[in-house]
Structure 1
Amino acid sequence: MAPWAEHAIWWQVYPLGFTGAEATALPDGAPVRHRLRHLEAWLDYAVELGCSGLQLGPVFASESHGYDTVDHFRIDPRLGDDADFDRLVSAARRRGLHVVLDGVFNHVGRGFEVFRRAGADPAAAAWFRRAPGGADYDTFEGHHHLVALDHGEPAVLDHVVRVMDHWLGRGASGWRLDAAYAVPPRFWREVLDRVRPLHPGAWFVGEVIHGDYAGYVRDSGLDSVTQYELWKAIWSSINDGNLYELAWTLERHGELLPSFTPLTFAGNHDVTRLASRLDDDRHLGHALAVLFTVGGVPSVYYGDEQGMRGIKEDRAGGDDAVRPAFPGRPDELPGAGWPVHRLHRRLIGLRRRHPWLTGARTTLPHLSNRAAALLSAAPAGPDRRLLTLLNLGDEPYRFPPETFTGILTGTSPRGTARLAVLESSDPPPAPGDPALVPAHGWAVLGGR
């Protein structure tokens, strides 16, 4: 993995929604809309949040939502043109922000130029996978307008290599590979064997929902994959009052870290927002405390840092609620979201002050259904540890002395006074008594 990516914290943006772009492609001859410039006003906001990278959703010419690409070499006219892209990347780089692009290389829209030739051109037809029986082309998960590429076709491999090289050459720092799970891992390895020598500092993360994460990374050569198991465990264990689920998932999560660093998140463009997913608003901080104190490369989906709500629905347009337009400037956001923003800033700041958390293994020295202590420790080197305490109950919870044994070198159960509360819910634990966490409270403890 590129050294810069090891400690990245992403702000993920879905540009078509963020900029209020039209729902479908512009008609031929319509003037280009220079909406990527809208994002420039938000780069300082991302930096102030504590992020070091901008993870962009689809920006290439498409028929509608961006995942039905028709031209990988052209910025969607609803968003702008090459000059707008170059300007955005340059503005991001001046602020120390890396830019990662969304690459949709499993399927294309039916308006994709090669597909339009497929009926009369056998060489073009070879780009696309045939459905069982061979009467028609295969599609992505049954969506007729998304035609599946044939990843055994050399021309497809060449095309993806050219696309990646082109945009990395224009200043992108890496790629998020959409629906990577639907692509044979050997295809990515063949692509990366050709792209990495040209761009050795680039970072590549694949969208993988479930399965053998470590095996997919090993076989594909990717740097990372999306950690959906942890995403699900964070909110469902809190909602169900079953922190054993979180413990089980963190054990599996820890087994991944020696081989790669997963992309972790509490929300993204494809799922119901965290604030809508949680049954109790008081538990938002618990979810974020877990995200920012366990191993991984964390990502914040735009709007989540403002506590925005949105429910994904399984229908046409069902993603719209989680992909809203943002105003022209941060100071135009509603005032109600800024306390959640400040909470994100505090926890991201904690993360940045303890960069070893990227590879931290997390164990649970104390666990019950509704209370847990998460001990995150550096995998090697100096003895670095943080303890995250969670209380989902209606009464204050006192963690037993043995919870704190060993959190600091030489610390005994009597030595808990050496611990300091680094971050906490409001109200914080009782002064001088970090073992007592208030009802529906949480705290992150470290050494004084």
Structure 2
Amino acid sequence: MSAEAAGWTGHVMWWQVYPLGFVGAEVRPEGGGAQVQHRLGRIEGWLEHVIGLGLNGLALGPVFAASTHGYDTVDHFRIDPRLGDLGDVDRLVAACRERGIRVLLDGVFNHVGRAHPLFRHVEEHGPESPHAELFRIDWNGWQPGQPVQAEVFEGHDALVALDHDSPAVAEFVAEVMLHWLGRGIDGWRLDAAYAVPPAFWARVLPKVREQYPEAWFSGEVIHGAGAELVKESTVDSLTQYELWQAIWHGIADRNLFELAHGLERHDALLGSFVPSTFVGNHDVTRIASAVGDGFVGHALAVLFTVAGVPSVYAGDEFGWHGVKEERIGGDDAVRPVFPESPPGEGELPEAGARILHEHRQLIELRRRHPWLHRAHTEAVEVANEALVFRSVGGAGEGGILTALNLSDEPQRVRVPGDAVVAAGSGSRDGDALVVPEREWAVVSFG
């Protein structure tokens, strides 16, 4: 039985957290920072907030021991001491279980940190090291005492690439996955899955599913999402960066033709898999900074009324701002420290309170229409500053009509006679839906 067949992925919606930033850990620690600091429990204080949003999944960024930002892993079986220890992660997983919240871990299996003990052993002992087969190394002309010429990830010298043709790497990755699934998690985000040969995942994932058939695997793919990759790799899902880009570009550039095209391409994927959808994550500029506070709801309306396994990047629900920059520390603004507990609605600025309401409203809409997980979508009306699209399920499941108005004039949209305004700002006027200037609306029908 696959995760999809088990049914839970058709209902899960993730709250994505970057743990090191969330708890205020030193991302670039001096002197190693090996002393255990029990910070991971701070996330537990936000679980009721997750439930209050209507979400039921916690997607954690890197939690394993690493040197800096978490994607330079040095021990896949140990919790990063800046976050805590095994007891801390076990308590967090148990707290999620008590609340019906699924847990997804971030698996960095394309590379390891240069400080990883296995690579250190290779550096010390050369090709005679039993761990040499784990890495792609050019031994030509190498002499003891010289640096090891290993392949690295995208030019980052601190990230040493694993050799995915090696059976030992496949065994290692399967062992890591099985270990944490055995401790109660539900699946894996496969970091940099686009850099790993699909055949590697096809060797590893079926072995893992033999013991955990309901586990779910979503691969990070940045340049589009391909049906062939899913078929060859056997992953369940891929990140839908193409749709993310179409959403924020279409809104920010007032070119909703781009979004309509993105929706068409998104819909074509559904014959092969259900993509992992988002409008924000730990690697991109926050949506409120990308499109402006007043248009976050437009982006969310797309996210929650088209097919996919949606996620909300923690903090986006409050309209937090943050711009990603291409420099050392350029991710810090989008990976901030969180307060000990969620802010009350009265503590939020007007824009933040509205954005929080929009999240709750659209997540509730999604809960009422679970068929949206695999809904087919088509554009009905398209202009630079106006877009109407229809999402429909199977027989007897009805449909959703989503209208986005970026212009400074009201928009009139023809709707079915039984259409009911389900979210956003809109009102019926005869056989039309009137969407005010710079607003959005969703109606349900059938």
TM-score, structure 1 as length reference: 0.92
Of 340-349 and 205-214, the range deviating more from structure 2: 205-214
How far apart, in 1, do the equivalents of 2:432 and 2:174 lie?
53
Distance in 1 between residues matched to 2:256 and 2:353, nearest whole Å: 29
Residue number in structure 2 paired with 1:326? 338
For 2:356, the equivalent position in structure 1 comes to 341
Cα deviations across residues 328-387 of structure 1 (Å, max 9, x unaligned)? 011378522332112100100000000000000111121222111110001x33242010
**2:35 counterpart SS class:** coil
Of the three residues 438, 441, 444, the one matched with 2:442 is: 444
| Within-5 A mapping of 1:379-390 | 380-390=394-404
**Identity among equivalent pairs (%):** 56
Match of 2:145 in 1: none
Change over 3 Å in CA distance of 1:264–1:30 after alignment to 2: closer
Residue 145 (str. 1) matches residue 158 (str. 2) = yes
* Other-structure match for 2:297: 285
CA deviations 1:412-432 (Å, max 9, x no partner) are xxxx4422111113xx33566
Identify the residue that residue 316 of structure 2 maps to in structure 1: 304
1:186-225 alignment, distance < 5 Å = 186-211=199-224, 213-225=226-238
Quick check: 2:264–2:377 contact (8 Å CA) kept in 1? yes
1:128-167 equivalences in 2 (<5 Å): 128-130=135-137, 136-167=149-180
| Structure-1 separation of matches of 2:427 and 2:282 | 35
- List alignment gaps of at least 5 residues for structure 1: 405-415
Structure 1 residues 266 and 218: CA distance shift in structure 2, 3 A: same
**Matched letter for residue 126 of structure 1:** E
Q: Which amino acid aligns with 2:373?
A: T
Which residue of the partner structure matches residue 53 of structure 1? 57
Is the Cα–Cα contact under 8 Å of residues 14 and 57 in structure 2 kept in the other structure? yes
1:100 to 100, 104, 125: 104
Going from structure 1 to structure 2, the CA distance change for 1:94 and 1:143 (only over 3 Å counts) comes to same
Q: Does the 8 A contact of 1:25 with 1:78 survive in 2? A: no
Contact 2:64 2:75 in 1 (8 A): yes
Counterpart check, 1:423 vs 2:423: yes
**Structure 2 vs 1, CA of residues 219 and 340 (structure 1 numbering), >3 Å: closer, same or farther?**
same
Query: Which residue in the other structure is 1:407 paired with?
Result: none
Whether the 8 Å contact between 2:63 and 2:83 is mirrored in structure 1 is yes
Is 1:361 equivalent to 2:355 in the alignment?
Answer: no
Structure 1 partner of 2:198: 185
2:269 aligns with 256
Alignment partner, residue 288 of structure 2 = 275
Q: State the distance in 2 between where 1:215 and 1:139 align.
A: 26
User: Hey, what does 1:410 align to over in structure 2?
Assistant: none
The one-letter code matched in structure 2 to 1:129 is: R
Q: Pick closer, same or farther for the CA change 1:331–1:439 going to 2, 3 Å.
A: closer
Deviates more, 1:20-29 or 1:145-154: 20-29
In structure 2, what residue type is equivalent to 1:217? V
Residues 1:28 and 1:237: Cα distance change in structure 2 (over 3 Å): closer
Distance 2:309 2:248 in 1: 18
CA distance in 1, matches of 2:309, 2:392: 16
Asked if 1:170 corresponds to 2:183, the answer is yes
User: Is the partner of 2:36 in helix, strand or coil?
Assistant: coil
Aligned equivalent of 1:371: 386
The worse-fitting range, judged by mean Cα deviation, of 381-390 and 220-229 is: 381-390
> CA 1:103–1:439 in structure 2 vs 1: closer, same or farther (change >3 Å)?
same
The 8 Å contact of residues 430 and 437 in structure 1, kept in 2 or not, is answered as no
RMSD: 1.9
SS of corresponding position for 1:269: coil
The 3-state SS of whatever aligns with 1:197 is: helix
SS in 1 for 2:330: coil
Cα distance in 1 for partners of 2:243, 2:212 equals 30
CA distance in 1, matches of 2:375, 2:140: 49
